[in-house]
A and B are shown apart, each in its own frame.
Chain A
Amino acid sequence: MSLPPSFTDDLSGLPTHAFSHRSLTWWGIIGFMVIEGAAFALTIAAYFFLMNQEQEWAPRPWEPPGLLAGTLFTLVMLLSEIPNTMIKKAAEAYDVGTVRKLLPVMVAIGALLFVIRGFEFNSLNVLWYENAYGSIIWALLFLHTTHIVTDWGDTVVLWRLMETPHSEDPRRLVDTDENALYWRFVWLSWLPIYALIYWVPRLFR
């Protein structure tokens, strides 16, 4: 240092982890949520821009997407928030046992969602190369699929990690807490996309 130090407070008593906005991890997660949220918002803007090119939406002869798979997907997504909240609360209460029990449940829910998503792609009633309407519908569904794939991968790694002695480190519980927060973002961002893929093409025929 260019100047000799004069000592003030001793910070050795400060905690070494905290949940929510006090931790760096939270800010990182929020940063990536904003980036992905911005990408979704712009895709939605592109959707309305392209919709403006058509007289009706979905444009004939294409039928709007079938409702069953997408609605089932939405229901499972919404219900997944129950174990997700339980994991979040358990992490904040340092309850490693509950976290260990429930993480595989979230992994299984993710796997179930992939299967339903497969049926969703199959029920869009339009292919991506048929016209711009098909392109943007597929783009929305594809982007959201990358979203659940990343969070699912994240959850699998976390699940395996929490089965090791590393789960005793409170910072891993902070990670668990933030992973649950991210899952909330995944299903919240799905709701407008669900409306745009399945309902707007019905309402503007």
Chain B
Amino acid sequence: MTAAERAKQPPTKVPRDGPKLTGPKLEQRLESTWSNPPGFIGWISSVDHKDIGRRYVITALIFLALAGVLAIAMRLQLSRPDNDLIGAARYNEIFTMHGTTMMFLFAVPVMQGMQIYLTPLMLGTRSNAFPRLNAFSYWTYLAGGCLLWVAFVLNIGPDVGWFAYPPLSGPQYGVGKRADIWAQMVTFTEIAALAAAVSLTATILKQKAPGMSLARMPIFAWATLVTSLMVIFSMPSVALASGMLLSDRLVGTHFFNPAERGDALLWQHLFWFFGHPEVYIIFLPATGFVSEIVATFSRRSIVLYPVVVMSLVATGILAFGLWVHHMFATGLPRIGYSFYTAASMSVSIPTGLQIFCWIATMWEGRPRLQVPLLYVIAFIFTFVIGGLTGVIIAAVPLDLQLHDTYFIVAHFHYVLIGGAVFPLLGAITYWYPKATGRMMSDSLGKISFWMIFLGFQLAFFPMHISGILGMPRRVYTYPAGMGLELPNLLSSLGGLVVAAAVLLFVVNLVLPLRRPKHAGPNPWDAAGLEWATPSPPRPYNFPHIPVVDSRTPLWDAGETLSVVHGLRVEDRELLLTTVLSAKPDLREPSAEPSAWPLIASLALTVMFVSSIFSPWAVVFGAVPVVIALTAWFWPKSPAPEPEPVIS
């Protein structure tokens, strides 16, 4: 029976989930409706948010490993003075690739990947909004990452730093195509991030389970909503900046050329208007992980939930008022210095409030010191140190002294690794059983945790010292006799310890995959809806859509889980609810699997890569993109009759 024929049937004849169709019989039918087609075509056509999220996370972790190898190469070069392991030009490429990969290809995508995987499960829905857009997002991200790394392997990788300041990156000094590749990689990753952010925002606003009002939403979903909105408002800035840079280089515009009344500082404003919120786009999802982990392992709901949520929102707003603190050394009016110092210090207030709430939750609860919670404690310890050095460099006189030294390198690694990577590793350990059906080894997890935590402190704490002693960033070596030998050697040793620990973490990720799926649906006895699904979840997530009447639904559920029913079984159908109070409102179809998002992404890749070489590529390259997008959107099934509605 075709979709059109099914649509013509009276409502009672359409198979729907409910008391008469439940259990294995229902699950079997949902399975065939929501599964991918078989084989390779099915694999590339998948629009399942769990597939896309998993691909995002695994790809981002591969980029983390690649950028980590570059970090080790730099630490080997810096392990002793006047070292000649790596020359100056190659070193420029390596630190550029390290920073660019970590920020654009690891940190933001890995957080979005976790959000794409988890959010629909946490909200109690069968899929995310715009699943094909989500698939397109992943393929575009992958294409951007490949562009950067293929260029690096071909020895045309960028060498202008991860923020590519003109005039160094402009046509006069940035000869060849290195800076163009950097700028176009940015375009790819921004399109990918924006597409994912729109999908996540719509999912959160419209697909919450009945009863899950905004005031009952998991804190991780709040963090996802805030970061997605931040992506939407900030990423156009860097896309615009990279577009202007490309046009300065390719068609001779003068946006950043002071000789023709352009301004190199315009770049810095546009870049940091994105770049500073980006730090919080990476950090806020991590605080979402922390809130979920702290609640589960303290076995109580988060203390002062409204304060935590308001802190997330406040951080999201304040993050847009700080960007100029990256530009203190460019010279600013006095009022500018005062304003941005005050703004930079004020953002520590909501973050501080969140930290107090987590400590209070652990204090009030019964904390279980398992690996995810260990990472949370390491996060609090490390992030507070990074936050304090942040307050130090928010003060202009100190910033001018420490600008572009290793003190800054130490600061941002404390806040980014301490603030985002530690919670991420905790989150991977925490949700691993959900995604794979298996538990990671606790003892191996504890060994790698302690190695990462202590190795990190050994690697990055001495950088404060070398920075205060005046060691500049981004210089490939340093002379002997300035007191820099010991801190650098310690940093390099610490880097090796972290690398070994990460390897151990990866071993711990891979080894359990050979064991049977014994984890069960809720191994940590957690409260969120994602733990109501089997591990790993089925393609349709929930056989019946759950109903929520508290912030900790599984802890309050008792013997049964309240559900609504009446969704179609043989077509992909979603329940939409109202934005604020999550009252059931509509049943809308959800997109079928399709290879067109991949084809559209490939066409976009051809256009973008060609446009590095000729502006006409934008015109001619757009034709295949339009064809692919049209094929993507054109309805495939015969036009159905309007479904009769029971009144």
The chain A residues found within 8 Å of chain B, CB to CB, are 1-18, 21-24, 27-28, 31-32, 34-36, 38-39, 42-43, 46, 49-50, 53-54, 59, 128-136, 138-139, 153, 157, 161, 164-172
Residues of A within 8 A of B263 (CB): 49-50, 53, 132
Q: Which residues on A sit within 8 Å (CB–CB) of B232?
A: 31, 34-35, 38
Asked whether, in the complex, the Cβ of B588 is within 8 Å of the Cβ of A169, the reply is no
Interchain CB contact under 8 A, B642 and A170: yes
CB within 8 Å for A11 and B252 given contacts A42-B236, A50-B261: no
Once the chains bind, are B130 and A28 in contact (CB under 8 Å)? yes
Please, how many angstroms separate the alpha-carbon atoms of A50 and B236 in the complex? Answer: 19
Chain B residues within 8 Å of A3, by CB:
532, 554, 557, 559-561
Return chain A residues, CB-CB under 8 Å to B642: 16, 168-170
The answer to whether B129 and A43 have CB atoms under 8 Å apart is no
B521 A2 Cβ-Cβ under 8 A = yes
Q: Are B563 and A136 in contact (CB under 8 A)?
A: no
Given the interface pairs A3-B561, A4-B560, A132-B255, the reply to whether A13 lies near B533 with Cβ below 8 Å is: no
| Partner pick for A169 among B520, B561, B639, CB 8 A cutoff | B639
- A136 contact set on B, CB distance < 8 A: 255
Near A by CB (< 8 A), chain B positions 1-56 give 11, 14, 16, 18-19, 22
C-alpha spacing A63/B526, complex, angstroms = 68
Cα-based distance from A22 to B580 in the complex (angstroms): 12
Task: Contact check, A12 vs B270: say whether CB atoms are below 8 A apart.
Answer: no
Bound together, the chains give a CA A126 to CA B413 distance in angstroms of 47
Pick out which of these stretches binds chain A: B67-75, B303-311, B348-356, B564-572: B564-572
A11 touches B567 (CB 8 A): yes
Q: Which of B197, B565, B589 contacts A11 (CB 8 A)?
A: B565
CA distance A2 to B22 in the complex (A): 14
- Check B253 against A129 for contact (C-beta < 8 Å): yes
Interchain CB contact under 8 A, B566 and A11: yes
Nearest B residue (CB) for A127: B252
The answer on a CB contact under 8 Å between A157 and B630 is yes
When distances are taken between beta carbons in the complex, the residues of chain B under 8 Å from A129 are 251-254
User: Complex Cα distance A45/B191, Å?
Assistant: 21
Tell me whether B336 is interfacial, beta carbon within 8 Å: no
The contact of A7 among B18, B588, B639, by CB within 8 Å, is: B18
Whether B544 lies near A32 (C-beta < 8 A) is: no
B393 within 8 A of partner (CB): no
Q: State the CA gap A173–B133 with chains docked (Å).
A: 21
Complex interface residues of chain B between 221 and 274 (CB less than 8 A to chain A):
232-233, 235-237, 239-240, 244, 247, 251-255, 257, 260-263, 266, 269-270, 273
Contact of A12 among B269, B543, B561, B646 (CB under 8 A): B646
Q: Are A13 and B565 in contact (CB under 8 A)?
A: no
Chain A residue, CB-CB nearest to B194? A35
| A residues in contact with B254, CB < 8 Å | 129, 131-132, 134-135
